[in-house]
Chains A and B, each alone.
Chain A
Amino acid sequence: MENIEIINLWKQYDEKLEKTLSLNQRIIAELQQQKAKNALKPARNYKYIAVFVGIAYAALITYFLYHLSPYGSIFINISVAIHLIVTLVATGMYVNQLMLINQIDTSENVVQMQHKMAKLKSSTLKVIGVCFLQFPIFATWNINFELINDRPLAFWLIQVPVVILFTYIGVWFYRNININNIDKRWFRMMFWGSEWKSILQSGKFLKEIENFEKS
């Protein structure tokens, strides 16, 4: 079938539709009220909750850090401070996502709008990557001067290598949890299950959009 015949086929279909389609104005009238009422905006609500929980949690850590730091060792205080900073950065990233959601405009060109949507969805992976930066604190909070002074071998041969290993793991995940690795086995094992499916699909779609723009 030639191109012109295909176009004509579509035109014939269009002519048939012209005769057979009719608008149901009653449903259109209902749409204004019902859609506004039922607009769940799940992504936005979920992020508002994340921001609220993040701020409340950061406030709690700050409170404990301020009041209890004189009684804790410098190592535990630094560990908690790192945890606080990471929590604040992650919360800030959710605030940024909320701002991006509000900027989404369906009348933008298709590539631009779909790119924004997919990037927004897959940006949850970035938050997880940032959270991994606090991984070393699991090996630093229990360090104290007694350990350093009284058991130097245990400190240098066990504690320090564990801190280095945890730092390496944290930085590695921070750098590698991104859409470029979504097809890798370790990534699929880490993010399996339905709750991750849509985020991973958005990552794949982001790649598709980028290829679509190039070729």
Chain B
Amino acid sequence: MQTTPITSPDFLTLIEANKRIIFKICNSYCRNADDREDLAQEIIYQLWKSWSSFNSTYKLSTWMYRIALNVAISFYRKEQKATPTVLMGDHVIEIADVNLEEGLETNLNVLQQFINELNPLDRALMILYLEEKSHKEMAEIIGITSTNVATKISRIKEQLKQKFSNKN
């Protein structure tokens, strides 16, 4: 059982440093705002639960991505929420109003839509690719060979190119 409090400075630093990736994973696996909030809370909670058993033979980012993606995929596949949101109306990761340029926003929407249309495993690969993870690290996070990662990424990139060219 985890004995370190969830508000310990080390753990909060980890979450602070990775809040963007948690946010992006939630956005990629949930369309509904309430679900996104539930998923963000679940990811943070599971990270905290596993924090004491972190195996230092792995990179911290590998460990973090594995947990976040596993929780997101399991959450996405569940029809009902396992644990309710802590406080309705509040968000564990707050977002201020974002003003994006029109072109950027349109392209981001196309990209996000493309990610959301992928199956849950390809979606995980796509996120890691966009985060510029090496094939080796992607292979360690996902659990397939580096060669398999390269083949799949090249296939997904081709589909993505097609998506953008159809849009233009």
Contacts and interface: CB of A to CB of B under 8 A. Distances in A.
Most buried by B among A18, A28, A105: A28
29 contacts: A7-B132, A9-B104, A14-B20, A14-B24, A16-B100, A17-B23, A17-B98, A19-B96, A21-B95, A23-B15, A24-B90, A24-B93, A25-B7, A27-B86, A28-B7, A31-B41, A32-B5, A105-B50, A107-B54, A107-B70, A108-B70, A110-B70, A110-B142, A113-B66, A198-B78, A202-B77, A212-B119, A212-B122, A215-B148
Nearest to A198: B79
B36 to A, nearest CB: 13
A81 B119 CA distance: 47
Nearest to B43: A106
A205 B93 contact: no
A1 B164 contact: yes
Given A3-B157, A18-B20, A201-B77, A111 B121 contact: yes
Interface residues of B, number: 72
Interface string B88-104: 00111111111010001
Interface of A: 1-3, 6-7, 9-10, 12-14, 16-32, 34-35, 38-42, 105-114, 117, 197-198, 201-202, 205, 208-209, 212-213, 215
Contacts, number: 171
B72 to A, nearest CB: 10
Contacts of A18: 20
Contacts of A111: 121, 142-144
B100 to A, nearest CB: 7
Nearest to B164: A1
Given A24-B90, A31-B45, A111-B144, A106 B83 contact: no
Interface in B1-31: 5-7, 12, 15-16, 19-20, 23-24
Contacts of B98: 16-17, 20
B79 A22 contact: no
A212 B144 contact: yes
B91 to A, nearest CB: 6
A32 B48 contact: yes
B71 interface: yes
Given A21-B93, A22-B94, A110-B66, A28 B23 contact: no
A200 B6 CA distance: 36
B150 interface: no
A88 B147 CA distance: 46
B160 A13 contact: no
B74 interface: yes
